[in-house]
Structure 1
Amino acid sequence: MTEPTLRPIDHQLDTVASFEGNGFAVRKGLQRLPGGQLDPFLHLDELVRTTHAPGEALGTSDHPHRGFETVTQLIEGAFVHRDSLGNGGRIDAGDVQWMTAGDGIVHREEPAPEIVEHGGTVWGYQLWVNLPRAQKRVPARYQSVTRDQIPEVRGDGTLVRVVAGEHAGLRGPAVTRTPVGVLWVEVEPGRYVDLDVPAEHNTGFQVFAGGGWIATPDRSLDDGQVVTWRRAAGTIRLGVPSTASAPLRGLFLSGLPLGEPVARYGPFVMNTRAELVEAVEDTQAGRLGRIPAEIG
């Protein structure tokens, strides 16, 4: 069997520990790359696996977004969310919430009531995907994808869950506004998985647990690292030594770069400074709305 040509590696670096919301721990990877992003991906926070005591779990306060999309998936635990459009719901383990902030929305996310009351474990991630200039002011919307809607590709000691994009002939359920792929990848010790994406896509992988190797066994990849590949033809290979004590688990991203100017300020991502000023003014004037008070 002929070995595939492997895609050349571009960057490999460590994530950094930080805190978001009201104080929950995260690990940041893409933000450390040159330019602070992997176009069209702006931001990836791993919500660090944490077991909370009763009354300890925290979420976010009400906050706005405009000009991009957020993708939230929980690996363990459950969240609840509400927004200024009157939407609300629950994200259980394995579920995905794909929110197009577009023209603007105010929302909040927090651990499910039973986790706040009784304690429990929460682990997941939030990804920000940029919108092209022509779609930054589209109406806000949600896509709620449950775990059983996400196709799985199982191999000999490997698992790929296709949230968006395509892998091994299976397409993910999330509808994307530009060509992107979001894959949850797991590889057991002594095994490897090959991923094939268009040569013109930017690609990256962030390790959430375990460790392994990239391309060949002599190039190690550690827990908490992020790796990117050059835009070139070739297969991406992720493996785990047979001596490892745990599987490699993480998030693989691929996307066609937008190649547009990026202007960022807090929860707003636009193309120009003037658009950022407008977003701040619209928020202060209440034009992005407010989350309705809960009654009862």
Structure 2
Amino acid sequence: MARKRRGTPIHGWLNIDKDAGLSSAQVVGRIKRITNAQKVGHAGTLDPFATGILPIALGEATKTVGYIVDETKEYRFTVRWGEARNTDDIEGEVVRSSDIRPATDEIQKLLPEFIGTIRQQPPAFSAIKIGGERAYKLARAGADLDMPVRDVHIESLSLIRVIDNDHAIFEVSCGKGTYIRALARDMAIKLGTVAHLSTLRRVRVGPFSEADAISLDKLAKLWQCPAKFVDLLPLTTALDDIPALAVTEPEAFRLRHGNDVAVPNQADGVVCAMEGDIPVGIAKIESERLYPVRIFNL
């Protein structure tokens, strides 16, 4: 007999504005304590020193996390020129310095080189696995890592403001797997200097934006009356780009039990099967048959 999961069955998304100093795992832990939800997960790690959008899935919404992880993300970040750190951000130790400071026109001229699909070497202090171990653990132990280079996609990159000779603020829109620390490092190298990130803020992840985000402190206060809580977003928030397909009650029953159903005149593709306002699950249409892929237990 399966053991009953502890906690309250809560299903949906929270758009959390993470404070600096907290890891993504710590945010998940705090939300578990605040909501007493049976299951909580995050969609995309945010470095402890960074702030901003950390989408949190509760209950059956955790089955849709992969769709948010693949979404485009937007960041606002500050580059500190002339000082390289071993983590490529403000939390690391200084390992190199340079007296060279790029001029504004040099920066503007460089930006197009980092737009589109580019090759990027992730920082050694990252969660990427090397030989089964997290790279940051190996780096902390003093290992000299040769991080694998990979392709990432930058949709847009712009210089927002030059604060002073040492600091400049940028905004970037990018795809999955992009390291903003590595982007700052590589821009500096192209400009003949070194750099690290002094601030990093994620301002959007797919449908989640900072305009609608909520802090953990505010969440804790509002959750004192959870029946009136309005900041819990529906499970389908992560599926905005997937078309909905209405199914009947008998069809929903078959899908929930792992069976396919006939869907005449429907084109092949992935859909979200809906029984009225209730999401049944993610399903796939092939040759006018609808096959369950991920069923929601609601």
Normalization by structure 2: what TM-score?
A: 0.23
Higher helix share goes to which structure? 2
